[in-house]
Structure 1
Amino acid sequence: MKLNSLWPASGKVRAGLIIVIFFVLLAVFGPMITDYAPRATGNPPLQPPSADHWLGTTQTGQDVFSQFVHGARVSLAVGFIAGVLSQIVSVLVGLVGGYFRGIADEMLYILTAVFLVIPAMPLLIVLTGYLPTRGMISVAIVITITSWAPAARVLRAQTLSLRNRDFVEAARATGESRMRIMFYEVMPNALPVIASGFLFSTIAAILAEAGLSFLGLGSLTTVSWGSMLYFAQNNQALLVGAWWWFVPPGLAIAIIGAGLALINFGIDEYANPRLRTGKSRRKAARPAGRGSAAMSSTAASAAAGAEASSSSSGVSEGSLGGTESTETTDDDASPPQIRGSEVPGDPVISVRDLIVDYPTEDGAVRAVDHVSITLHRGELLGLAGESGSGKSTLTNAITRLLRNPAEVSGGEITYHRSTRTGESTEVDLLNLPAEELRAFRWSELAIVFQSAMNALNPVLRVSAQFDDVLRVHRPGMSAAGRKELAQEMLHKVGIDPERVTAYPHELSGGMKQRVAIAIALVLEPDVIIMDEPTTALDLLVQREVLEQVMQLREEYGFAIIFTTHDLSLLLEISDTIAVMQTGTLVEYGPATDVYSDPRHPYTKTLLSSLANLGARI
């Protein structure tokens, strides 16, 4: 990485860095260039600045410049130590409470609220008064105790927002531990909040140390900017006109505070990959390589394929007219239409009489009501229905990713594991222990989440997101092996392998979706659940992604549960279709039969609505 890429673009941030670097260098090297010890006396008293004494002398003849540079070490060290300790406490309280919720969150939130309502300075004075020693570390610890709460509250709110993002859900599905998710997935996305909290905690700590010393509660045997102000005030430096005694430490505190505040403007520039100076522009300016040429040719062929599919499918607006039904006034009263499956192959997942409820104060809301489906090896099962019909709840139950307060009230979900000898063993997914479930997800069942824009962690490179899966399920694989496998999977989904170092914001929507599919395939699972994988993609990119999925299915032989609102799409690609309405499976059977002979009024209404919209399936 070039050094100029690390230099901020903002003038305010540059000014802040220059100020802070100046004072740090002064604290480190300043004592080496002074000829006087900070407490040495014997010089003429109250001398103004001169060539011998750059900042003059005190009433007892001590060199003010020597005290100033030695005091910088103490004041900056106290600020830095207190800032670090304060943020450690804030991160632990905010992350743990915001991510785990429940009783832990309630207790930590009450503790945070207590420290927020107690005035910081009086508490600081009281605690300092009981210190057995008032050294630099002791003062820093006391300042930490009184300053962690505001940053913890902000970080908790940020964690509450991040914990429900799709990339966190994807990390859970890949088997990452809670600690890794908190500190590797959530915390990097909260770095701007943490860094900002550190800067302002450091400013507050420098001010607090100066305030305590000025009041005579700090360590008066240690030279700091605060102790300089204390002795200047006690010796009435203002009245005798010795401005050089109190102006340098007071001005330094104000300037270092301003410098740290200015740096705060540039936090996002480093924490957010999208805003890192120059990087996105340089990558955007690169000439299109083989990967982009392949994408263009794929797009052209996809467009031609879409047109050919429309003309050769034999299903047109006119033929859909034959499926129109007479209007029904009570779809719910019609019995479910369940037909036998004609898909060859052994079952891989069986769902029997599954019930999922959401408890509320007014009673349980049934999201999935006695649903039974069977997925065979190599089958593409399309799951259709309007929003709120229970599709995602059903797939989340299968993957054991239901969010509170949802609970499985009845039924069973069985995974039929194929052994090396060809025999099949049944695995009860609803009662699978946590460690076995962690190993099961992604190695045998993977997930492509609804929006790849949110399912990919925005602050991690593509290679790191492959690593998340491989570190958990292939711990013995070397870093070079993980990178090579990631590049191979990108090539299989039509992406230039060199894009493995890209951030998600540097990829198009279709490329992000392909990356999500590649990550799902990296361990070659038996089943992939795709939750509306083409949502938010334009029609041409949808066609490209679907053709890629079909090719990969032919190559790897995995089964798919494909969830979508688009019934016409399912009729084209599915082997079997399951139609859900208000949590109930209303029609289930081979895709050709559901199309040619829809039996449930709700299915007939869906098909007739396609004809009314001029759909060509």
Structure 2
Amino acid sequence: MKGLLTILRRSPRAAFGVGLLAALLLLALLAPLLTPYSPTSQAFGTWLKPGGEHLLGTTALGQDIWSQLVYGARLTLLIGFTAGLVATAIGTALGLSAAYFGGRTDEAINVLINVFLVLPGLPLLIIASAFLRGGGVWSIILVIALTGWAWGARVLRSQALALRNRDFVQAAIVSGERPARIIFAEMLPNLAGLIAAGFFSTALYAVLSEAALAFLGMGDVSQVTWGTMMYWAQARGALLQGAWWWVAAPGLCIALLGTAFALVNFGIDEVTNPRVIHEARATRVLRRNRAAPQAEPALEPPQPLLAIRHLSAGYVTPQGPVRAVRDVTLSVAPGEFLGLAGESGCGKSTLAFAATRLLDAPGVVFDGEARLAGQDLLALNPAELRRVRWKDYSLVFQASMNILNPVLRIREQVYDAMQAHGVQDRGRLEARARELFALVGIREDYLNAYPHQLSGGMKQRVVIAIALALEPKLVVMDEPTTALDVVVQRQILQEIDAVRKRLGISIVFITHDLSLLVEMSDRIAIMYAGEVVEEAPAHELYAQPKHPYTRRLMGAFPPLEGPRERREGIPGRPPSLAQDIPYCPFFERCPNHLPGTCDVFKPARVEVTSGHSVACFLHSPAVKEEAYAAD
């Protein structure tokens, strides 16, 4: 029940659909209370108009139309839900079996699915109904279920095939788990949203099919359903008699039922795939209206290109918010190479995506600001953001070589960002594309190639070229060389640094490789548990790291020369970012923590030498202001 309430709260469309469906179900269940008449009684006058004792009038045989409507809801909903369940069960079983077992099993099931998809639906229903005529409502359910499962099976098979190759399924297979357990415990939960959506689609197909069969006289017209009501209205010439309500009432109910199913279907998609509901929106910003923070000290020229102030961001989950970035203040000067380092899960990527309004749902910005050349990115509307993105700043994502469209030539993909910002002249586009390829070290003839014809390093260079297409002021690179070998990594990074110096752009480079940042960066910021714990010029951070966490990170990388030494990782694990951390987040793992201080208070980040700041009680007794200690 709690899960259902969460779904309804998160999706207004689903809530309206469930409410509409509940009303129709109550109409069916409470039929004896809603009317005193039998739906088959012919004890009344014929062609009576709506009103008085007969809310919707009477039929040509003297039957009460309102009674037929509420009692007909019972069989109509029974057919829809039962046929939907049977068809969904068949489609799910065959789709998952084909995807999991593969080989000849998959081939045989796929042929069967394709045969049923090729057969025309309504003629097949009519033929099958003719053979089973007289079998009652269950024969109709059986016919509809056996002719309506194929589409759901095909969709489910295609999704299950992709799921079958995921690492966690492969790990379950290697560990020796039984096929039934893998299918029901590993694969089925991940496809639950798709299966539920398929059920409602099939149930709607069943209701419409029954109505079509009944209207054509192929169903059991002795039963009272919304479909048979429309059949008898047509057969008795209701429209010719002016009794349009006899046709309109069941037709409207079928339309409302279809609307309810469709809205619930949309709601399932919204809840199981949060990107759908937010796909046309920028990162949600939930900044509170509170007193402005104390003014920052005036910065000497040049002014920062990117100024992040007290930024807090994370993710909204059913279990509560996860604050992956906590009160971060950071700046990037024009032409500067800023390195951002830390363990996995420390908030590096979330910080970059939140500051640039690219944090996907359910990601949100809780507080703070991010100004690019003085413009608050968090205050822009979607149209303004589209004008700024790629022109004033761009991003190179982690493993971004995989974002290239495999069916488009490289040339079209290089043109795309420029065309989106108004560059339409083919000559200018071609000249710029060739210039970009020369800039990142790729031969021009590869503009005609498809992505699969390029190596991993070449594809990464193409993505970097696309990011530089409009000469943005800032490029954020989120571990862009992680999937490449060390030789190619060095080549690409040297080219990035050369391009930066040539074009005068600023770069924020996110990586785990602290030794690499020391060599490439002008300045480095170290993140831990969503906070910047140390920031300093690269050479100074390497020579004199202040924070115990930074020293541990530096000690994790072996030197290239000198005697061999045993290296150790950092014991323990970071704290959960789903909880408040009113103390130093590193104290449990810190070998030098101060009991009674580090585990009680949060250290403020202070400048210990010029340009070198650290948040640690070993270097300053300053305590972080409570106003920014938590979101």
Relative to the length of structure 2, the TM-score reads: 0.47
Relative to the length of structure 1, the TM-score reads: 0.49
* Higher RCO (CA 8 Å, separation ≥ 6 residues): 1
